[in-house]
Amino acid sequence: MNITGEDLILACSAIGAGLAVIAGIGPGIGQGIAAGHAAAAVGRNPGAQGQIMSTMLLGQAVAETTGLYGLLVAMLLLFVKPLVG
Amino acid sequence: MSHGLLVSADNIDFMIHGLFSYELFGQTVWITTSHVCILIVMLSLILFAIAANRKLAHATDVPDNFQNVIELMVEFLDSIVKGAMGGSAKRFSNYISTIFLFIFFSNISGLFGLRPPTADYGTTFALGVITFCLIHFNQFKYQSLKEIWVDMCSPLPPWLPIWFPINLISEIAVPISLSLRLFANVLSGTVMMALVYGLLSAIAYVWPSVLHIYFDLFSGGIQTYVFTMLTMTYIKNVIGDRDEVPAEAK
């Protein structure tokens, strides 16, 4: 079987894309912590539920960004193929 | 990919397509599907606005259905702007409500068979740049140059501007991270739906609607809220308490 340089780059891009989405671990843990603390806060002070919800969503969205960067790198590697000349 | 349910791997399609091209200053510029989808979203919003305007011109004390919907929307948008911006809510509620409606209808336009315009980095980057300009216009309006300099040199004292370049980078990162967040969220939903319809097209009946609810309605709504909320928070940060009406003027 002949493997050309382009095939090798495509295969390595696929592996790289898989590695890039490992970045999703961090936001997963972070958003879980945020949601857990928000649940505890609602338990302590049910009256402030609306404000806690919006603060939690905002913080989670900011924490999510790093994971999305990993997703973007994976997408670029898979579909835009910047390394194939 | 030649067996079972994965036969139709060729018809995965979530890319932006060029519709026609023209020359401008020696560059080839394309009119793409994003432009068409933006136009459709804008036209429907404009038509809705005209209809709402007509309706409110003959507003009644006891509102009927359509007037109820309009009042609900306006009250909701006004209340989130009021909650986030306090004293300057009046000046910004027009703009914030506009981008809220635009981003929301763009995000859920996947439900109507369009490719969401916000899944194109050009659209979201434009929105991010508008936010960036608003932040710095208001910073120069409400703060003196000395305050801005001290702020840019913090946490070190202002005569030692070692942190200035780092703070400069963090200012420039604001529109990029804002727009990338919205773009990547909507794009991931679009890609997931394209994969579901492309790879599982043999059995993709009815149940993808659950995924539509999550990716289009829930995720789109949350991201709209986050984008407008962050825009308001950044602007409020540079304004601070300077827009509050002084006690003696009340």
pLDDT higher than threshold 80 for residue B212: yes
Contact call for B233 and A58, based on CB within 8 A:
yes
pLDDT of residue B4: 40
pLDDT over threshold 50, residue B1: no
pLDDT digits (tens, 9 = 90+) for B20-48: 888 888 888 888 889 999 999 999 999 99
Tens digit of each residue's pLDDT (9 = 90 or more) over B116-157: 999 999 999 999 999 999 999 999 998 889 988 888 888 888
Contact B228, B246 (CB under 8 A): no
Contacts of B121 in chain A (CB under 8 A): none
Q: How many residues would you count in chain A? A: 85
Cis peptide before A27 (omega within 30 of 0): no
Phi, psi of B28 (to 5 degrees): -85, 120
Contact B238, B139 (CB under 8 A): yes
Contact (CB<8Å) A68/B180: yes
Per DSSP, A2 falls in state: -
Per-domain residue ranges of chain B: 18-241
pLDDT of residue B7: 44
Largest CA distance in chain A: 68
Is the sign of the CA dihedral B117, B122, B126, B127 positive or negative? Answer: positive
Average pLDDT rounded to a whole number, residues B231-239: 90
Q: From CA B126, how far away is CA B134, in angstroms rounded?
A: 12
Place of tokens 């306006």: B74
Checking if the pLDDT of B74 tops 60, the result is: yes
The model carries a pTM of 0.86
**Comparing B228 with B248, which gets the higher pLDDT?**
B228
Q: Cα separation of A24 and B156, whole Å?
A: 35
Contacts with A, B 213-232, CB within 8 Å: 222-223, 225-226, 229-230
The shortest C-alpha distance from A12 to chain B (Å) reads: 19
Max distance between CA atoms of chain B, in angstroms, equals 78
Tokens for B142, please give them: 């409400």
Average pLDDT score over chain B:
86
Query: Which of B177, B184, B223 is opposite residue A71, by nearest beta carbon?
Result: B184
Contacts of the segment B194-203: beta carbons below 8 A, 24+ positions apart: B194/B12, B194/B13, B194/B14, B195/B12, B198/B8, B198/B9, B198/B11, B198/B12, B198/B13, B199/B5, B199/B6, B199/B8, B199/B9, B199/B12, B200/B5, B201/B8, B201/B11, B202/B5, B202/B7, B202/B8, B203/B5
Task: For residue B29, list its beta bridge partners.
Answer: B22
pLDDT at position B104, please? 94
Whether residues A61 and B191 touch (CB distance < 8 A) is answered with no
Q: Do A58 and B223 touch (CB under 8 A)?
A: no
pLDDT over 60 at B5, yes or no = no
Judge: B180–A57 Cβ closer than 8 Å, yes or no: no
Ranges of residues in chain A with a pLDDT under 50 are: none
Predicted pLDDT of residue B179: 93
